[in-house]
Every structure is written in structure tokens, then in C-alpha cells.
């Protein structure tokens, strides 16, 4: 057995250029796959994170039934305290309490339906990108309390109501108990998310003031949570459910419940990528096939001699197989190493291609993508290449079984 290994190794380096070229093909392919797969996985996380980061967060605690029915009286009691408690827990990056109401904002001739969100000004930026999208004026001040009648509205809403910074905005809605909830607020900031549907109807006010105007007491409608590690969402959800088991009416919703369809949209994107990876892997397999076949063909005489000397065709086949194994291992190792380094570097520094910056600025998306640096991302591609390369060596190896020693020795 030892001899076979040694022979295989030496065979490889007898034609070092050919071996290196094939290894190079494998390494190139591996690096490419490692890079693309990490980028793809990283971009999914980014896409999900981006979508969730705009407003809905990774997890929310709500009253049961609120998600579907949105009734004013489906509230979360002591909402600010709950947010405070959750904020301090392990793995939670940010938690913010909210109250939501639908109201009529009136201009001279018309009233417009708007969604008023009572937020905690100091904590809301941690769970939503809206505070960062204030294009005129400023967001609500962090110490805005029950007496502060500040309001931040969407740009299209501001246009429709014909109000600007410093103007007053009156609105009318229903409180938690159904009573009139009406108030006047001063516009301190105007938000531009880039999406008309949002900019037409969004308005944010300090939660304390919201609770007062809408007769909420200390209640709210949800606690929005952003976790540090996206992959830990399911664990966080179970832990929260345990912690809140005492409050029968509260439910913990993960982002899949909050944004149905998002998970699957991502999954479907992977399907198209598979085609591409498959093609790359097949090409590399061809390369290996090419190399090994050539190698076998050129050594026909040599093999003929070995067969004549008594080496079984099985052993010969194993020889060829071993050569491929060694070559592929080298390709795997170097590919994983270089690919891994590249991905590690990019996972810290970020990667972008032209056009991304534009989109990023416009929609408040990050301007760089961060490939995912994980074992799965790095090994998946190269391991598949490795396996296919081994497969590719089958044909040349099998040819050896039909080799006639005498005819082989006569071959040119």
C-alpha cells in the first residue's frame, strides 16, 4: 500500500506543470465558490436584516390577536418596563416599546388617514431605520416625555397637509377605550424613506405623549426587539416565551410571522444560484477528467509493463485514483485556505460592486455586503468540487481494466 502512495505522489510531480494547472483550476474554482457562497449567505442575512431593520425588528412581543386584527384595545401592559427588562438581557441588541394608532390628520379641506406610532425616542433608532431617514429637521429628542408634543412625519404626508417644520398638525382618532383622542402636535422632523406608501402615512411621536393622548395608561402595542446574532432568533424566541409564560395574553412573534414570505423569497433566490455553482463544478470535473485521462493515455506503455510484471488492474486503478485524491486534496486545501482568507478579510472590510452605493444611499441600505464567514460557507463548495473530481477520475481508472499488457507495451 505504501508503495502505491509513493508512486502516486511521484507520478503527480513527474508532470508538475500539468498537475499544477489542474490544481490551479481546482483552486480557482474553490476560491470562487467559497467567495460566492459566503457572499450569497451573507447577503441573505443582509437582505433579511435590512428588511427587518427598517421597522419590524427581529422579534416582537404583542397582545394575542393584535397582529391580525390591530384593535386598539389589544395592548401590552407596562410596555416601557417590559422593554427595559428585555433590553438588559443576553443577546438582545436593542428593545423599544411602541404604541400604534390610526388617526385622521386634517388639513384645510381634507383629512388624511395616518398611522401614528408612539416610540421611545432614545431606543427607537436601535430597532428601526426611520429615525435615520429624517431629511429635514431632526428626530424626536431622547428626553421627550409626556409633555412633549413633537411629531415627525413622512415627506409626502407633509406635502399633502401642506405643513413644514415648526407647523402644527392636528389629528383625531380613537383612544384605547374608544373615546375621542385628539391633539395638536408640532412638526420637528420630516422623514423620507423613498417609499411613497410609507411617506404618505407615517407619523412618530414620543410614547409617553401617545399614551396620554390615546388614554393608554402605561400600555402599548408592542415591544420591538433587535438581536445581536441573527441566527439566535429561535432561541431568543423560546426564552422570551418562557419568561412571559405568566402573561397569558402576550405572544412572542419572530420575524417570519411578522413578515411572512420573506424567508421564502430568499430561499427561492438560492435556486438560481445552484444552477451557476453546478456549472462551475462540472467544468472543474471536466478539467480533472481531461488531466487524468491524458495522464493515463500517456502512460499506456508504462502501465502495460506494470501489468505484465504482475500488478493487478485493480491496483493500477487505485493508483490513478490516489493521484486524483492527492491532487484534489491539495486543491481543496489551498482553495479553502485562500478562499477562507479572502472571505475573512471581506467579512470584516465589506465588499461592494458598482451600483450598490447608489442603491444604498437611496434606500438607507448598507453600501457594502459582508460575506458570511462560517464553516458551512467555506467548505460547501470545495468539498463538492473534491467529490466531483474523484468521480471524474472514475472513467480513466476504469479504462485500465480493459488494458491488454502486450498491446499497451507496444503503444507509442
Interface residue list for another protein (CB under 8 A)? 17-18, 21-22, 24-25, 28-29, 32, 73, 104, 106, 109-111, 113, 156, 159-160, 170-172, 174-175, 177-180, 182-184, 194, 196, 200, 260-269, 271-272, 275-276, 279-280, 282-284, 286-287, 289-291, 293-294, 297, 353, 355-356, 358-359, 362-363
* Residue/partner pairs of 84-91 with CB below 8 Å, 24 or more apart: 86/61, 86/223, 86/225, 86/240, 87/123, 89/239, 91/227, 91/228, 91/229, 91/232, 91/235, 91/236
**How far apart are the C-alpha atoms of 208 and 228, rounded to whole Å?**
27
Count of alpha carbons within 13 Å of 227, Cβ hemisphere only?
20
Q: Which of 191, 51, 53 is nearest to 115 (CA)?
A: 191
Q: Give which of 296, 410, 388 is closest to 18, Cα–Cα.
A: 296
**Considering only CA atoms, which of 18, 33, 8 is closest in space to residue 385?**
33
Nearer to another protein, 92 or 105 (CB): 105
> What's the rounded Cα separation, in Å, for the pair 122 and 116?
18
Q: What is the dihedral of CA 359, 360, 365, 368, to 10 degrees?
A: 120
Q: Which is nearer to another protein, 26 or 225 (CB)?
A: 26
C-beta of residue 244 within 8 angstroms of C-beta of residue 156: no
Closest approach of Cβ 360 to another protein, in Å?
A: 10
Alpha helices in 170-258 (DSSP H): 196-199, 207-213, 233-243, 255-258
- CB nearer to another protein: give 228 or 267: 267
| Closest CB 363 distance from another protein, rounded Å | 7
By beta-carbon proximity to another protein, the closer residue of 24 and 122 is 24
3-class secondary-structure state, position 185 = strand
Beta carbon nearer to another protein, 5 or 20: 20
Q: Which residues pair with 222 in a beta bridge?
A: 62, 98
Which is nearer to another protein, 74 or 128 (by Cβ)? 74
The C-alpha atoms of residue 302 and residue 305 are separated, in whole angstroms, by 5
Please, what is the minimum distance in Å from the beta carbon of residue 270 to another protein? 9
The tally of CA atoms less than 13 A away on the side-chain side of residue 138 is: 6
DSSP at 368: S
Between 139 and 277, whose beta carbon lies closer to another protein?
Answer: 277
Q: Which is nearer to another protein, 96 or 320 (CB)?
A: 320
**Rama region for 272: left / alpha / beta (φ>0; ψ in -120 to 50; rest):** alpha
Q: Identify the sign of the CA torsion 143, 195, 45, 231.
A: positive
* Min separation Cβ 260 and another protein, Å: 8
Q: How far is the CB of 340 from another protein (least distance, A)?
A: 19
> Least distance (Å) from another protein to the CB of residue 179?
5
CB of 339 to another protein, least distance (A): 14
Q: Output 322 or 369, the one with its CB closest to another protein.
A: 369
Q: Which is nearer to another protein, 22 or 54 (CB)?
A: 22
Closest distance between another protein and the C-beta of residue 175, in Å? 8
**Residue 93 or 100: which CB sits closer to another protein?**
100
Shortest CB 126 distance to another protein, Å: 26
Q: How far apart are CA 233 and CA 242, in angstroms?
A: 14
Nearest-approach distance from CB 40 to another protein, in angstroms: 13
Kind plus residue range of the DSSP H or E element containing 245: none
Rounded to the nearest whole angstrom, what is the least distance from the CB of residue 386 to another protein in the complex?
16
Amino acid at each position: 500500500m505504501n508503495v502505491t502512495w509513493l508512486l502516486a505522489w511521484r507520478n503527480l510531480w513527474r508532470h508538475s506543470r500539468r498537475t499544477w494547472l489542474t490544481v490551479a483550476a481546482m483552486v480557482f474554482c474553490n476560491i470562487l465558490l467559497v467567495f460566492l457562497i459566503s457572499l450569497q449567505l451573507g447577503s441573505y442575512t443582509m437582505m433579511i436584516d435590512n428588511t427587518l431593520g427598517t421597522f419590524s425588528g427581529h422579534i416582537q412581543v404583542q397582545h394575542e390577536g393584535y397582529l391580525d386584527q390591530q384593535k386598539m384595545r389589544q395592548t401590552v401592559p407596562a410596555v416601557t418596563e417590559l422593554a427595559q427588562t428585555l433590553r438588559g438581557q443576553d443577546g438582545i441588541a436593542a428593545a423599544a416599546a411602541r404604541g400604534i394608532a390610526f388617526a385622521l390628520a386634517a388639513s384645510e379641506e381634507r383629512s388624511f388617514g395616518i398611522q401614528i406610532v408612539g416610540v421611545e425616542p432614545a431606543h427607537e433608532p436601535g430597532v428601526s431605520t426611520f429615525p435615520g431617514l429624517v431629511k429635514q429637521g431632526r428626530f424626536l429628542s431622547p428626553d421627550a416625555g409626556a409633555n412633549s408634543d413633537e411629531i415627525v412625519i413622512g415627506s409626502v404626508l407633509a406635502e399633502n397637509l401642506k405643513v413644514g417644520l415648526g407647523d402644527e398638525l392636528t389629528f383625531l382618532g380613537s383612544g384605547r377605550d374608544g373615546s375621542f383622542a385628539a391633539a395638536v402636535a408640532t412638526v420637528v422632523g420630516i422623514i423620507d424613506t423613498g417609499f411613497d406608501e410609507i411617506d404618505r402615512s407615517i407619523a412618530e411621536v414620543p410614547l409617553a405623549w401617545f399614551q396620554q393622548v390615546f388614554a393608554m395608561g402605561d400600555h402599548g402595542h408592542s415591544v420591538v426587539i433587535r438581536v445581536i446574532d441573527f441566527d439566535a432568533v429561535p432561541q431568543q424566541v423560546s426564552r422570551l416565551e418562557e419568561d412571559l409564560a405568566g402573561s397569558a395574553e402576550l405572544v412572542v412573534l419572530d420575524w417570519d410571522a411578522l413578515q411572512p414570505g420573506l424567508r421564502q423569497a430568499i430561499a427561492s433566490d438560492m435556486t438560481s444560484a445552484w444552477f451557476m455553482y453546478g456549472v462551475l463544478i462540472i467544468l472543474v470535473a471536466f478539467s480533472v477528467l481531461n488531466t487524468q485521462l491524458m495522464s493515463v493515455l500517456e502512460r499506456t506503455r508504462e502501465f502495460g509493463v506494470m501489468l505484465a510484471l504482475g500488478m493487478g488492474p485493480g491496483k493500477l486503478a487505485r493508483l490513478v485514483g490516489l493521484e486524483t485524491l492527492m491532487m484534489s486534496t491539495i486543491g481543496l486545501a489551498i482553495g479553502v485556505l485562500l478562499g477562507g482568507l479572502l472571505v475573512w478579510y471581506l467579512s470584516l472590510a465589506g465588499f461592494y460592486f458598482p451600483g450598490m452605493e447608489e442603491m444604498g444611499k437611496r434606500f438607507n441600505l448598507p453600501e457594502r455586503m459582508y460575506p458570511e464567514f462560517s464553516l458551512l460557507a467555506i467548505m460547501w463548495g470545495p468539498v463538492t468540487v473534491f467529490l466531483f473530481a474523484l468521480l471524474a477520475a472514475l472513467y480513466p481508472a476504469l479504462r485500465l481494466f480493459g488494458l491488454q499488457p502486450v498491446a499497451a507495451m507496444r503503444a507509442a
